[in-house]
Amino acid sequence: MDSEPKKEYRKIIHVDMDAFYASIEQRDNPLYRGKPIVVGGSPEGRGVVATASYEARKFGLHSAMSSKRALQLCPEVIFIRPRFNVYKEVSVKLREIFSRYTDLIEPLSLDEAYLDVTHDKQNIGSAIEIAKQIRQTIKDELNLTASAGVSVNKFVAKIASDMQKPDGLTFIAPSKVESFIENLPVEKFFGVGKVTAEKMKKMNLFTGADLKKLTEHEMVQRFGKVGRFYYNIVRGIDERSVQPERETKSIGAEDTFLHDLSDIEELNAELDRIAQTTYNRLQKYNLKGRTLTLKIKFSDFKQITRSQSFSNPIWELEKIQEISRTLLISAGLEGKKVRLLGVTLSNFKERVIEIKKHDKTGQLRLFDD
């Protein structure tokens, strides 16, 4: 007799370092160990703190709290100036540890990532075992602790990783996912901010189970488009894939003109402007490319590119403009009308990983190593 085909579940791990900046400071300076410390802010009471050690959290200190408030709650707290370079270095090493198990790594910030280990590189097979090994390796090689959540989708894995912090591992088995979500308070749901949570509570919706009573139509009516996402999530359905980081191979700018241009003076002026935008973008990401590519689209929509490579990186604005102009002239326009020009730099010395996510401060983060 045929048995029911077994449902194939994904194996998702969410790893999040414990009190990341603060733990690194305690690791590197024995005087800070076991003490309430915060990274960022100032003992004079200016600014906000980036994070608090678990010792400081006992006093109620937390990320984004004002230094003033932190001092009120814990007068003996030690303020530490952040060392972002060190945090970034640790982050790169973390990535390297993850990559021993899978290439499907989606970093969310310096200290946090999703891993899809459905088919792991070492054929370990068990996501729990992989999470254990990752946590142990982080201890052995980085002298830091991480918490991990293991489950069948991103949503549950992320909530799970937070459940036994610090230094915890939480597994939510496929058969437990539904009851797990039913018991979750509404504010734990992804994307439910304080305002929506209040709104839900006014509607007598306190837990996942309450949300589950509503039809898809009712969810959308009450919460807009995101209502459909919640509708699926409370049923354990979260098909979002783990999106690996993508390497940035080029940076550039292009523009289509209002009217097609043939006058070389006008074209040069436009080209200088586009090169300036490219230059600004390179500056933003602190990149220097060795290949410059000019793209030209003609009025008949035919497109050509002309590239030039150099042994030394090009990064000065004047240089980018000069090379672009030379490439434009050598393209032999011969009275043709141009509708678009583009200037791109590639062939970077640094390996640049662009993280498509926005970090907690809303900035697009770039990593290079």
State the Cα–Cα distance between residues 198 and 338, nearest whole angstrom: 56
Q: Which residue has the tokens 């437990």?
A: 176
State the Cα–Cα distance between residues 191 and 272, nearest whole angstrom: 43
Q: Whole-number minimum distance, CB 360 to ligand DCP, in Å?
A: 5
Is the Cβ of residue 21 or residue 348 nearer to ligand DCP in the bound state? 21
Q: Whole-number minimum distance, CB 113 to Mg ion, in Å?
A: 11
Is the Cβ of residue 246 or residue 360 nearer to ligand DCP in the bound state? 360
Q: Cite the beta strand spans of the chain per DSSP E.
A: 12-17, 37-40, 49-52, 78-80, 105-109, 112-116, 146-151, 169-171, 246-247, 250-261, 289-298, 303-314, 338-348, 352-358, 364-368
Does position 16 interact with Mg ion (CB under 5 A)? The reply is yes
DSSP 2: P
Q: Whole-number minimum distance, CB 281 to ligand DCP, in Å?
A: 25
Q: Is the previous residue joined to 166 through a cis bond, with omega within 30 degrees of 0?
A: yes
Give φ, ψ of 146 to 5 degrees.
-130, 150
Does position 25 interact with Mg ion (CB under 5 A)? The reply is no
Active site annotation includes 96: no
State the Cα–Cα distance between residues 229 and 246, nearest whole angstrom: 26
Q: Whole-number minimum distance, CB 118 to Mg ion, in Å?
A: 24
Q: Which residues does 202 contact at the CB level (< 8 Å), separation at least 6?
A: none
Is the Cβ of residue 17 or residue 267 nearer to Mg ion in the bound state? 17
Distance of CA 182 to CAs 163, 179, 190, 254, 266, Å? Answer: 16, 5, 14, 50, 64
Nearest to 114 by CA among 144, 159, 54, 77: 159
Other beta carbons less than 10 A from residue 169's beta carbon: 20
Does position 111 interact with Mg ion (CB under 5 A)? The reply is yes
* DSSP-derived pairing of the beta strands 37-40 and 78-80: parallel
State the Cα–Cα distance between residues 94 and 90, nearest whole angstrom: 6
Is the Cβ of residue 112 or residue 238 nearer to Mg ion in the bound state? 112
Q: Whole-number minimum distance, CB 8 to ligand DCP, in Å?
A: 31
H-type helices in 100-247, by residue range?
127-137, 154-161, 177-182, 194-202, 208-212, 216-223, 226-233
21: partner contacted, choices Mg ion, ligand DCP, none (Cβ within 5-8 A by kind): ligand DCP
**Annotated catalytic residue: which of 25, 44, 112, 266?**
112
H-type helices in 9-99, by residue range?
20-28, 54-57, 67-73, 84-98
Q: Whole-number minimum distance, CB 53 to Mg ion, in Å?
A: 12
Dig out the tokens for 206 from the structure.
């306190």
Judging by beta carbons within 10 Å of its beta carbon (0-12, 13-18, 19+), is residue 30 exposed, middle or buried? exposed
Is the Cβ of residue 21 or residue 230 nearer to ligand DCP in the bound state? 21
Is the Cβ of residue 141 or residue 198 nearer to Mg ion in the bound state? 141
- Footprint on this chain of ligand DCP (rule: CB under 6 A): 16-21, 50-51, 63-64, 109, 111-112, 165-166, 360
Q: Whole-number minimum distance, CB 146 to ligand DCP, in Å?
A: 9
The residues annotated as belonging to the active site are 112
